[in-house]
Amino acid sequence: MPLSSELTLASSPRAAADARRWVGDICQRLERPDLVECAELGVSELVANALLHASAPYKVRVRGTASHPRIEVVDGSTRPPEPPSRVESDDLDLLLTFGRGLSMVAQCALAWGATIESDGKIVWFEPAPEMSESNSVEWVIDRLEPAPSPPERPTGDATVEVRLRGIDVPLYASLARQYSELRRELRLLSLSHQSDYPLAGDLTAMFANFERQFPEAFDEQIREAEARGLPRVDVTFPMAREAGPILVTMTEMFDVADAFCRAERLLSIARTPRQRALHGWLLGELVHQLDGAASRPWSGSAPPATPSTSQVG
């Protein structure tokens, strides 16, 4: 079952203990007592490291599924964590101390790394059933990707002025957050589990190409509607006719991603039925309008059957 829990931590010596207890309780509720020791040790070390070397706000999250939970510690510093130094496996004091860098996290993890964002970082790990004798698990560091540059826009008959009418702004915002998590998950998989998920890198590239089809004018109109608290908004922007087949392919890829999420092969949460309905309408509208059809407003329900590539002129 997909999960997403978050705890805000105080900037105090109690933070590591609070995080340790909270994460341990979640593992027990997930019926994963096998992960409690590594989860508690790893999160204690990450929180101690954040308090010593980073800045507020501090948060701890548990994401993913009961089968593959991931623990994340968020702080307000964009400075990457220092890579761990090697430790001797017979150091008996290791389990009794905090603040020894990230070596202990590596011993507690099946996979781990850090994501550097514009306003802070996330250091994460997937707890192992038991500690390893060395910190040999390779870690990955992922910097927030800049927004993909849109390709040079053709003019004249090569573009179509498309209009999306009545977009549900709060629902679209929730869909955008779900999409962002899915993109990050795919990127993490491509970096840390490429052998287990060989398609993750290809899907990451496909998603980047998909994003390039949308001009900045689209995002600007959505952001303005959110800032004004509008429940619905109409947006108009130019789109290249050649984007049609890409949109059809990605409609199918989003359905595949949902199936992977439900099967717990991805740690992200699948789109809700309402998110999926809005997404299907939006992509279907773009394909239809690029093919010369008139715009149809969002009705709040599922769209007609997904168009095939034969409908794209």
Q: Using CB atoms within 10 A of its CB, is residue 52 exposed (0-12), middle (13-18) or buried (19+)? A: exposed
**In the prediction, which pLDDT does 104 show?**
85
Distance CA 176, CA 173 (A): 5
Beta 2-9 vs 232-240: how paired, if at all?
A: unpaired
**In the prediction, which pLDDT does 184 show?**
82
Q: Which two tokens stand for residue 128?
A: 């192992």
DSSP 13: T
In 3D space, the residue among 104, 54, 44, 100 whose CA is nearest the CA of residue 74 turns out to be 54
Distance CA 207, CA 301 (A): 25
Q: Give CA separation, 107 vs 19, 40, 129, 247, in Å.
A: 19, 12, 11, 43
- Strand (E) or helix (H) holding 142: strand 139-143
Give 104's contacts (C-beta < 8 A, 6+ positions apart).
Answer: 41, 42, 45, 94, 135
Distance CA 175, CA 181 (A): 10
Task: List the chain pLDDT tens, one digit each, 313 residues.
Answer: 556 689 999 988 899 999 999 999 999 998 999 999 999 999 999 999 899 889 999 999 998 777 778 899 999 999 888 766 554 444 444 333 334 557 888 889 988 888 888 889 999 999 999 998 776 677 777 765 555 555 555 555 689 999 999 999 999 999 999 998 888 878 777 776 666 666 677 788 888 899 999 999 999 999 999 999 999 999 999 999 999 999 999 999 999 888 888 876 666 788 999 999 999 999 999 999 999 999 999 998 655 454 443 343 3
Half-sphere exposure of 41 (CA within 13 A, CB side): 25
The answer to whether the beta carbons of residues 235 and 218 sit under 8 Å apart is: yes
Domains observed in the chain: 2-143 (3.30.565.10), 156-311 (no CATH)
Distance CA 212, CA 148 (A): 6
178-219 pLDDT, tens per residue?
998 888 878 777 776 666 666 677 788 888 899 999 999 999
130-178 pLDDT, tens per residue?
998 776 677 777 765 555 555 555 555 689 999 999 999 999 999 999 9
**In the prediction, which pLDDT does 99 show?**
40
Distance CA 255, CA 273 (A): 12
In 3D space, the residue among 93, 185, 198 whose CA is nearest the CA of residue 142 turns out to be 185
Give 267's contacts (C-beta < 8 A, 6+ positions apart).
Answer: 2, 63, 64, 65, 68, 70, 185
> Roughly what angle, to the nearest 10 degrees, separates helices 273-290 and 244-262?
170
The answer, yes or no, to whether the previous bond of 57 is cis (omega within 30 of 0) is yes
What residues pair up with 113 in beta bridges, in sequence order? 124, 140
In 3D space, the residue among 150, 73, 158, 58 whose CA is nearest the CA of residue 108 turns out to be 73
